[in-house]
Amino acid sequence: MERIAASLRDKIKSVEEAAALIQSGSVIGCSGFTLVGEPKAVPHELARQKKADHLTILTGASVGDALDGELTRAGLLSMRYPYQSNKSMRNAINAGEVGYSDMHLSHMPEFINRGGLHIDFALVECAAVTEDGVIPSAAVGASDCFLYQADQIILEVNEALPLELYGMHDIYRVGHEPIPLTDATQRIGTAAIPCDFRKIAAIVVTNDPGGCPVFKEPDEVSAAIGAHIISFLKEEVAAGRQPALLSPIQSGVGSVANAVLAGLGSSGFTGLRMYTEVVQDSALELIWEGKMAGASTTAVSLSQKKLELFYENIDFFRERLVIRPQEIANNPELVRRLGLISMNTPIECDLYGNVNSTHIMGNKMMNGIGGSGDFARNAGLTIFATASVAKEGAISCIVPMCSHIDHTEHDVQVIVTEQGLADLRWKSPRQRAELIVERCAHPQYRPLLREYLKDAAKYGGHTPHNLQQALSWHTRYLDTGTMLPG
């Protein structure tokens, strides 16, 4: 297979020429999802030229520093959608220098396809562009949507990506009809993204392997969280609420989620399946060991060591991995139909089961809601897992009231910390509060939470709160550096 179809070779341009096509005020849809597959050469050149500013950038999800970081530090951005995790970008957002709209990842492609935002350029990294269309990297994200809807297309054909990625993707364009997918790893589409070649303004040839995420090794806290979840899932199987092989698993981004999946590998479960938005190290290892039969994802985001395993055995993984657009991977219709087990990591949870996934101390954006809402609202079983404390105990992750709410108690079925697990299903608010305090809170904060509940009960109501004290833990931390009273 050739990297670039013969009919398209006259569109090859230098990176300087390609970047010069982008004008100030442009809205650019970029490939990339969980630090995989973002364009690197053209953003770097845009930052160097500093000619096009007031840019609006959309991606599938988080991308690397070559895109978010360089454009932010160059002062070229005015707006960002729908998710980010870059330090420079985060600081600019919280300083009010870059506008940011935090969106459910399943919503963005649909809103664009309905005409909600005009896309001037699609800037997409790919392994190849053939007569069949664009062959993505190890991440599809929203690349298909951007290619369909953009006025002009700039492709970065990255020679560092193996051509053997061809056949791993499954591209299906969502319409008004039900999506014909009934099994996690079923294929329903094409191996390449259909593309109107008349819209291609430039093809830039690159050779950049990019960076890899770094995951923390499982520690005592994450291992304890994993053990609680595994014990709970075994109880669900014994009670007949889960099949012996478990429903397909969705697991969010990060070290806690990675550690939980690692624990599943030694739990006795086999024949596992995933239907998720990102496959990380532990999931790939489970597939390699034969404990997971297959996985559907929109991105494969791996450490350097596991990326080497993936590439060296790509024929093996091609038979077991399906990489889809995020409009399919995060689609609420499919999440509900497949009855997923959804596992995500919050910033904080409150006594009644509300979850904050995005804001630090109520006002500072961390990353964004990502796909957690797509899955939490619609999964068959929704689990939020976090350490009980942060900042060496100065912050309790179980608080009287969340300083910001992304997932209401209606979408949260299970909360788990290293201290224990609270099954909130079929419980009243007061029952939920008691379970969360006794099973999830850290011992140094447990008496304080009991005291708060006792005081809040004086005010009565279905969901008792003392509004004068509900956020006092957060204000105390801002004033003194700890949520613990002096």
Name the binding residues: 252-256, 347, 367, 371, 391
- Compute the radius of gyration of the chain from its Cα atoms: 23
CA distances to 272, 276, 320 from 340, in Å: 12, 9, 18
**What is the strand order of the sheet 348-350 is part of?**
355-356, 348-350, 398-399
The verdict on whether omega for the bond into residue 82 sits within 30 degrees of 0, i.e. cis, is: yes
Distance between alpha carbon 80 and the CA centroid of its chain, in Å? 16
Going by C-beta distance under 8 Å and a sequence separation of 6 or more, which residues neighbour residue 274?
184, 248, 249, 250, 251, 283, 292, 294, 295, 296, 297
Going by C-beta distance under 8 Å and a sequence separation of 6 or more, which residues neighbour residue 207?
158, 159, 160
Nearest to 153 by CA among 188, 125, 113: 125
Q: In whole angstroms, give the CA distance from residue 159 to residue 479.
A: 52
Q: In whole angstroms, give the CA distance from residue 399 to residue 471.
A: 8
H/E element, 146: helix 143-149
Q: Catalytic annotation on 277?
A: yes
Nearest to 410 by CA among 382, 441, 449: 382
Helix, strand, coil % in the chain, rounded to nearest 5: 35, 20, 45
In the DSSP assignment, the letter for residue 309 is H
Q: In whole angstroms, give the CA distance from residue 457 to residue 454.
A: 5
* From 70, 277, 348, 418, active-site residue: 277
Nearest to 71 by CA among 39, 35, 34, 119: 39
Nearest to 469 by CA among 481, 486, 451, 446: 451
Going by C-beta distance under 8 Å and a sequence separation of 6 or more, which residues neighbour residue 134?
124, 126, 128, 143, 147, 155, 192, 193, 195
* Helices 429-440 & 446-457 angle (0-180, nearest 10): 160
- Where is the binding site for CoA, in residues? 252-256, 347, 367, 371, 391
Active site residues: 277
